[in-house]
Structure formats: structure tokens, C-alpha cells
Amino acid sequence: MKKILYTILASISLTACAHAPAGGDTDNVMIAETETGAVRVVWMGTAGLYVTDGETGLYIDPFVSRYGLLKVGLGFGLNPEHDLIDKWIKITGGAGASAVLVGHSHYDHAMDAPYFAARTGAVIAGSESTANVARGAGLPEEKIRVIADGKQMAIGKFTAAFIKSVHSPALFGRIPWQGEITEPLRPPVSASAYREGGTYAIVLAHPKGTLLHYGSAGIKLGSLDNVSADVVFLSLGGRKDTPSLLTHVVTPVHAARVIPIHFDDFFAPLDARFSHLIGVNMEEFQRSMAESPEIGVSFPPIGRETILFQ
Ligand SMILES: [Zn+2]
């Protein structure tokens, strides 16, 4: 098992939050200097991450154009917020990113992704539906990679593998906005135009350690049987319950640590004072994790780099 470090910055950052979750057994490790080659991560809210080893950087599901529930629910046309995307490229230090990986093509995962790719020169990788989001944003074909179940992609010292998964039953027990995006999708379009397009878990392996990005909390039995990961970035929004995620996602990959993501209210602006997504039931998560003390939990700070693998 690789040594996993995660800083106390998580709990510091969240103390300012009106609905701050307790920090679980967050490691009290403060890293002053970044060691060469350490794998670092910045959480961007929702399922968005920037991951780098100092040589190669990549985004997973970067999304920062957080429109209000009314606009989304009433079907207003949504435009990616270019200024916010530029701001977040600066915050994450991702100007030279090599890849943008997308787990499924709902708007809160895929809408901004091509613009992160366009601004950084990265390639974008995801389903055919995600490719159509990229085409609608004007990305050329040579910057688009259409992935398939089990397909691997080398990105510097990282290897990304896309594993077919299933979306969480996030809307009254049902998967929202199912189906495919079959033509280039040009904004502004409503959130509902961003069809799911199939959901993938992403395994990101590096010589220093392996993370599993579980961007939607559905369960596909057996899908992770041949996967091992040190850390799971686990989406909490829309999950059925935490024990089934532990049984079918975290335990099969033998992960020592869970880092919750996608529990913030993404209908509100992205800053340190975020609220929890309605219905996310953090109490149930905390209770379930307390019953599995062998699995560590770290809450990520928003917009601040922490070391994942030393
Ligand atoms: Zn989704």
C-alpha cells in the first residue's frame, strides 16, 4: 500500500462552512514543501478534480458554471462561464494540463470540460456523448478521445482507465436525463440537453499511487472486481446509501481511504462557504464510515492543493 498523505487543510477550510462536516479521522499532516514528483490534487467542487505530479496535470469532470436551481429547473439555456473557467485554471495551476477526463455527460460533469481543454490545450476524453459536447464547443477531432469500457490512456506517468459504471438514482430514485447526445451540442442549451451518455468510473494509476474517481454513486455489481486503488474519490450525491457503496465500491478495490466529493450544493456559487446538496444526508455517511474504522476519511478543501501520494 502506498503512503497516502492528506493535509489538515481540509478541516481548516471547512470550519468556515455553515454546514461543515466533521473531519472524520482526517490526518493531521501539514506539508510545507512539495516534494518532487508527489501526486497532488485540487478539489473544484462537484466531482471536479485537478491532479498533477508536477510534470503532468489533468482534470477530471471540471465544472464551475454553477447556475441556480431555478434557471436549471426551468430549462434556461446555459452558457459555460468563461471567466470562471479561466479563474479556476489559475487556482488549480492547470494552464499546461494534458487531459480532461469526463465520467459522464450530464451538465455538471461535461458542460465546462471542453472549455478547460480549449484553454489549456489538453485533449478531452469521454463517451461519444461527451465527444459531442466537445464538438459543439468547437474542439477539433484530434483533441477528442472517445473511450470505451476498460480502455486505457497514458498521460505522462499516469494511466487512466475508464470502467463502465452506472449513474446514481439521483432524482426521486431515478437516473435523471438518460440517453445519448447524438449531435454536437452548442451552448446555450438547457441542462436537460446534456444526456447522461453512459457513466464511467475512472481509475487513475501513477507509480506513487492509484486513485479511483467514482463520479456518480450508482452501483454496477462486479464492475470493480479487477481494480485496486489506494484512494476513492466517492460521489455522495444521489446515493442509495453509504454501506452499499462501501460494500460494492470501496471494499472491492481495497482502498484505505475515502475522499467524499459531489456533496456540495452546485446550484450555489463555488467558494469556501458552500452548503451541502439537498438530501445528501451527511449524517448517514459519517455514521456509516464510523462503523468502518479501517477506512479513513478526508474531506477535501475547495480550491486548495493537497498531497495525495508522496
Ligand atoms: Zn450525473
CATH code of 18's domain: 3.60.15.10
Q: How many A from CA of 99 to the centre of ligand 1? A: 20
Q: How many A from CA of 261 to the centre of ligand 1? A: 13
Q: Is residue 216 assigned to a domain?
A: yes
> Residue 270: what pLDDT?
85
Q: How many A from CA of 196 to the centre of ligand 1? A: 6
Dihedral over alpha carbons 192, 203, 207, 2 (to 10 degrees):
110
Q: How many A from CA of 109 to the centre of ligand 1? A: 7
Q: How many A from CA of 234 to the centre of ligand 1? A: 13
How much is the average pLDDT of 43-60?
98
> Residue 172: what pLDDT?
82
Q: How many A from CA of 147 to the centre of ligand 1? A: 18
> Residue 272: what pLDDT?
65
Question: Measured between alpha carbons, how far is 102 from 109 in angstroms, rounded to an integer?
Answer: 7
Q: Is residue 1 assigned to a domain?
A: no
Q: Is residue 182 assigned to a domain?
A: yes
- Name the amino acid, one letter, at 247: T
How much is the average pLDDT of 189-206?
98
> Residue 17: what pLDDT?
36
The 8-class DSSP code of residue 250 comes to I
308 pLDDT tier (thresholds 50, 70, 90): very high
Q: Is residue 4 assigned to a domain?
A: no
Q: How many A from CA of 47 to the centre of ligand 1? A: 10
How much is the average pLDDT of 50-59?
98
How much is the average pLDDT of 35-44?
91
Q: How many A from CA of 27 to the centre of ligand 1? A: 30
Q: How many A from CA of 44 to the centre of ligand 1? A: 16
Q: How far is CA 57 from the centre of its chain?
A: 15
Q: How many A from CA of 135 to the centre of ligand 1? A: 20
Q: Is residue 272 assigned to a domain?
A: yes
Q: How many A from CA of 215 to the centre of ligand 1? A: 8
Question: Measured between alpha carbons, how far is 279 from 50 in angstroms, rounded to an integer?
Answer: 26
Whether residue 40 is predicted with pLDDT greater than 60 in this model: the reply is yes
> Residue 27: what pLDDT?
41
Whether residue 22 is predicted with pLDDT greater than 50 in this model: the reply is no
Q: Is residue 164 assigned to a domain?
A: yes
Average pLDDT, the chain: 90
34 pLDDT tier (thresholds 50, 70, 90): low
> Residue 19: what pLDDT?
36
- Domain range holding 85? 9-309
Whether residue 2 is predicted with pLDDT greater than 80 in this model: the reply is no
Higher-pLDDT residue of 308 and 23 is 308
Q: How many A from CA of 58 to the centre of ligand 1? A: 20
Q: How many A from CA of 105 to the centre of ligand 1? A: 7
1 pLDDT tier (thresholds 50, 70, 90): very low
Higher-pLDDT residue of 60 and 2 is 60
Q: How many A from CA of 87 to the centre of ligand 1? A: 24
Q: In total, how many domains does the chain have?
A: 1
Q: Is residue 298 assigned to a domain?
A: yes
Determine how β-strand 200-206 pairs with β-strand 158-164: antiparallel
Q: Is residue 3 assigned to a domain?
A: no
- Ranges 52-56, 98-102, 268-272, 280-284: which has the least confidence: 268-272
Q: How many A from CA of 34 to the centre of ligand 1? A: 34
Give exposure, 79-112, as e/b (b: 16+ Cβ within 10 Å): ebbeebbeebbebbebeebbbbbbbbbbbbbbbb
- Ranges 18-22, 141-145, 191-195: which has the least confidence: 18-22
Which residues keep their CB under 5 angstroms from ion ligand 1?
A: 106
Q: How many A from CA of 60 to the centre of ligand 1? A: 14
